Amino acid sequence: MTSEAELVSPGIIALTWFDLAVAASLILVAALVSLALKLGITSKIAVAALRTTVQLSLVGLILQWVFALERWYLVLALLSSMIINAGVAGVRRTQRRYGGIWTHGLFSITVCGLITTFVVTELVIGVRPWWEPRYIIPLMGMVLGNALTALSLTLDRVTNDLEVRRAEVDSWLALGATKWEAARPIVADAIRTGMIPIINTMSVAGIVALPGMMTGQILAGQPPMEAVMYQIVVMFMIAGACAMAALLSGLLAFRALTTARHQVASHLLRKIDG
Amino acid sequence: MFILQARDLSVPPASSKAVASLEGPVSVGLTAGDVVAVLGPSGSGKTTFLRCLAMLEPRAQGDVFFRNELIEPSDTPAFRRLVAYLPQQPPAVPMKVEDALAHPFSFRSAKGADFDRGAAKQLCGRLLLPSDVMNRWSPDLSVGESQRIALVRTMLTKPQVLLLDEFTSAMDPAGMAEAERLVTEWLKEGERAAVLVSHDSRQRTRLANRTITLEQVRPETMDED
């Protein structure tokens, strides 16, 4: 077992709860601005700050527990719950839903999360054992966080367009198009939409801000070039995951909302209020 | 023999008022030379009926036969090329008019047929469209112009049955006369038939040789309108 002092790398300054209290003064500024200008979001700021603290603390506790116990099945359980949460969160952001959209969201997230994380931890980094939580949990977390955005943007766009642009699709169908020939522009638009955030992120990486993981590694005392190499791998991993999530969810939604007789079944969509 | 026949078509009412319904059951048979005008009050499902004939309504019940044969799902695109539905308001597609006219020839159901630019230009001229229309951006067309372009586009794919939904409603009298003449000549070119929805009783008299009437929709469905 490592002693208390060795848990922290030599270069890093550990924070105390007192330090967190000092940082909390910054959130007080936000709250005071809201009060002074009557923005009406004071309570929201308080709740959000509290949620951040509680949620991250809980995750910290769970991670410390999982790291300490070193059991592959605990890691697997944690990964599974992350995947399910990501799938649900991705679908929850859509405005139109159909029967099966939850299954499709979950399936897309699972496939892209497992494949990209496997490629990076097994083939690129070579993590041993394969379930070493220090690597696999944060890496898959980054994949899922970005893939769920790609998923929700794609699903939202494809379901919206199959309803709003239905006349366009129907007009091509009426001229003898197959359902894929008629709806391909809409599915392609949706997949493109899902991939835009990660393309933007990759384009400005390092110019506008240092990516979070690289920042963390540098703060933890790693040489910047090593942190950069890790960050590049992570960017590619996320881009691959977003592409897969967008493609899978776009195609699954297309399949669910068209019929074997080459019709648009947009009546299966329900609009969600709010 | 019927070129196109529909048996007991209907679309059950849906919970959402945005979804089309057709009281039915409606049956109709078209023989060569037939032009059937569809009558019925507003909201009785005239457009839905035409869409059912083109098999565009996923919730439709009943059967559609083309030359006495049921259409396999996978043959639907080829069927729709022969039984062509023209919507009242052709949607603006984000492409140049010429590309929009040529696009149906990129479909698998075109079976290798090529877009005939000369024929397209000639048809545009016949329908009194400006000579530069093929180079215009589709969304910039007026409704009357896009109705005429839609007619040209459908005619170029050589259909055998036309399902015309207020196909001249936004055209000026000269354009309408040319469009009607085009359809009348097309009817004589072979075993052809058409179904016509038109609010213009004189147009129905000019084009149609018989009528069918759709029933008034149920009162509770009316309330949702």
Q: Which residues of B touch A171 (CB under 8 A)?
A: 87, 90-91, 93, 150
Look at B73 and A173 and tell me if their CB atoms are within 8 Å: no
Helix H segments across chain A? 17-36, 42-69, 72-92, 101-118, 133-164, 166-174, 179-204, 212-219, 224-256
The angle subtended at Cα B141 by Cα B137 and Cα B145, nearest 5°, is: 130
| Tens digit of each residue's pLDDT (9 = 90 or more) over B74-100 | 999 999 999 999 999 999 899 999 999
Look at B84 and A174 and tell me if their CB atoms are within 8 Å: yes
pLDDT of B219 > 60? The answer is no
Look at A170 and B87 and tell me if their CB atoms are within 8 Å: yes
pLDDT of B151 > 90? The answer is yes
The angle subtended at Cα B168 by Cα B165 and Cα B170, nearest 5°, is: 110
CA distance A93 to A88: 9
Q: Of all helices (H) and strands (E), which one includes residue B11?
A: strand B4-11
CA distance A268 to B89: 24
Q: Which domain holds residue A33?
A: 1-69
State the smallest CA–CA distance between residue B115 and chain A in angstroms: 14
* B53 contacts B163 by C-beta, under 8 angstroms: yes
* A159 contacts A253 by C-beta, under 8 angstroms: yes
Interface residue A263 vs chain B (CB under 8 A): yes
What pLDDT was estimated at residue B55?
97
| Residue A2's pLDDT band (cuts 50, 70, 90) | very low
What pLDDT was estimated at residue B221?
44
B42, with CB counted inside 10 A (0-12, 13-18, 19+), is: exposed
**A100 and A62 co-located in one domain:** no
| Chain B residues with CB within 8 Å of chain A CB | 14, 16, 19, 51, 54-59, 73-74, 76-78, 80-81, 84-87, 89-93, 103-104, 106-110, 150, 153-154, 157
* A41 contacts A47 by C-beta, under 8 angstroms: no
Specify whether the backbone of B129 is left (phi greater than 0), alpha (psi in -120 to 50) or beta: beta
Mutate to test the interface with B, among A175, A257, A259, A264 (most CBs of B within 10 A): A175
**A99 and A52 co-located in one domain:** no
User: Closest-CA residue in chain B for A182?
Assistant: B107
Q: Of all helices (H) and strands (E), which one includes residue B202?
A: helix B201-207
Q: Which of A100-114, A125-139, B4-18, B56-70 has the lowest mean pLDDT?
A: B4-18
Number of domains within chain A: 2
Give the mean model confidence (pLDDT) for residues B126-139.
96
**A33 and A137 co-located in one domain:** no
**A55 and A138 co-located in one domain:** no
- Cα-based torsion angle of the residue sequence A12, A16, A17, A21 in order, rounded to the nearest 10 degrees: -80
pLDDT of B42 > 90? The answer is no
Q: Which residues contact A69 (CB under 8 A, 6 or more apart)?
A: none
Token digits of residue B156: 């170029």
Percent of chain B at pLDDT > 70 equals 95
State the smallest CA–CA distance between residue A180 and chain B in angstroms: 10
Give the mean model confidence (pLDDT) for residues B170-183.
96
Give the mean model confidence (pLDDT) for residues A40-56.
91
**A65 and A100 co-located in one domain:** no
Give the mean model confidence (pLDDT) for residues B47-66.
95
Q: In this complex, how many residue pairs, one in chain A and one in chain B, have their CB atoms less than 8 Å apart? A: 81
How, if at all, do strands B35-39 and B193-197 pair?
parallel
CA distance B91 to B77: 19
**A96 and A48 co-located in one domain:** no
Look at B58 and A177 and tell me if their CB atoms are within 8 Å: no
Average pLDDT value over all residues in chain B: 92
pLDDT of A3 > 80? The answer is no
**A87 and A28 co-located in one domain:** no
Longest CA span, chain B: 52
Q: Domain boundary residue among A42, A69, A96?
A: A69
What pLDDT was estimated at residue A274?
57
Q: Domain boundary residue among A33, A49, A69?
A: A69
**A25 and A120 co-located in one domain:** no
E strands of B80-151, at which residues? Answer: 83-86
**A64 and A174 co-located in one domain:** no
SS3 B70: strand
Q: Domain boundary residue among A69, A99, A119?
A: A69
pLDDT of A80 > 60? The answer is yes
Interface residue A172 vs chain B (CB under 8 A): yes
Distances (CA, A) of A246 to A107, A187, A238, B172, B191: 12, 10, 12, 46, 47
CA distance B143 to B123: 18
CA distance A193 to A149: 10
What pLDDT was estimated at residue A11?
62
* B96 contacts B138 by C-beta, under 8 angstroms: yes
Give the bridge partners for B37, in sequence order. B196, B211
* A120 contacts A135 by C-beta, under 8 angstroms: no
SS3 B63: strand
Q: Which residues of A touch B54 (CB under 8 A)?
A: 174
pTM recorded for the entire structure: 0.89
DSSP state of B21: -
**A174 and A63 co-located in one domain:** no
**A65 and A116 co-located in one domain:** no
**A60 and A98 co-located in one domain:** no
